Structure 1
Amino acid sequence: MKRSQRIQKLVELSQKKEDTVARLLARQKAKVEQEKQKLEQLQEYASQYESERNLLGMSPYLVTNYQHFVTRLEQAVQQQKGAISQSEHQADQAQQQWLAARTKTKSMDIVRDKHAQQEQKLEDKLEQRQTDEFAMLRFMKSGY
């Protein structure tokens, strides 16, 4: 088996690894988007709740309950922002892994191509030598 063919097997393995990491990156990016949508929903809910509270007159008891609810809602918003931050960090790490895998695959492609070119040059030289020898034999047999 030629060296370029052996390297091709490594390139294929590297490509599989790159594809796996690319799928992970896509999942991480989708997760970031989902987390951002959840935050938007929480913020929209908080805004709607605030609008409704201003329209209704509330008893002191309801004001206290409202304040507890608002506090929990603010905590949920902060937690969601933390979840977004964590998801973005994980997506950044996946991006770095993908870039590393992509660089490795490209490097291996270059090495494989280099070996394939060298092999082709050797084959071309051998073919030329055989052609020259054959022509020389024909010339010798023909008697000059």
Structure 2
Amino acid sequence: MAASRAARLAPVIEMAEKVERNAAQRLGHLQGQLQIAQGKLQELEQFRANYQEQWIKNGTQGVSGQWLLNYQRFLTQLETAVGQQRRSLAWHENNLDSARKTWQDAYARACGLRKLVERYMAEARRLEDKREQRLLDELSQRLPRSDGY
């Protein structure tokens, strides 16, 4: 009985393990996407720092009003790009957190189902052991005794 319950759960476990594998793959993919977004943000921030250093270097030599206006416009565009990339990074972090929670839930479900099957199998072994012991006890009672009576 317990063994058949365990057998009936096999397709459910397979499905739960497939869901867990898919969640793990998605988690891995999103971790990669987050790393790409972090890299882009670092690149933008480094570019902005280099651009500001150029301003300091050129500013000491004197610059025209037009150069200053162009510098300010481009710096504003860079700041906008950095802000957008930070929002993108936050979006990727939220997606990763959500995927991690989904994977953890799927992993816990698959583990719980495996433990349930193990419990059913252990119960089936115990029942089988009891049945065998009962049979052995019955057989030993039926055998003629050789203790002198």
- TM-score (normalised: structure 1): 0.88
> What is the Cα deviation at residue 75 of structure 1?
0.3
Match of 2:64 in 1: 59
| Structure 1: unaligned runs, 5 residues or longer | none
| Structure 2: unaligned runs, 5 residues or longer | none
Match of 1:74 in 2: 79
Match of 2:100 in 1: 95
One-letter code aligned to 1:92: D
One-letter code aligned to 2:109: K
Partners of 1:8 and 1:125 in 2: how far apart? 25
For residue 83 of structure 1, the aligned residue among 75, 85, 88 is: 88
One-letter code aligned to 1:69: F
Q: Does 1:31 align with 2:33?
A: yes
> What is the Cα deviation at residue 127 of structure 1?
1.3
One-letter code aligned to 2:47: Y
Match of 2:138 in 1: 133
Partners of 1:139 and 1:9 in 2: how far apart? 50
Match of 1:50 in 2: 52
Partners of 2:13 and 2:144 in 1: how far apart? 47
- TM-score (normalised: structure 2): 0.86
Deviations 1:23-80 (CA, angstroms, capped at 9, x unpaired): 1112112211211111111000000011112212322112111111111100000000
Partners of 2:25 and 2:84 in 1: how far apart? 27
Partners of 1:120 and 1:7 in 2: how far apart? 17
> What is the Cα deviation at residue 131 of structure 1?
2.0
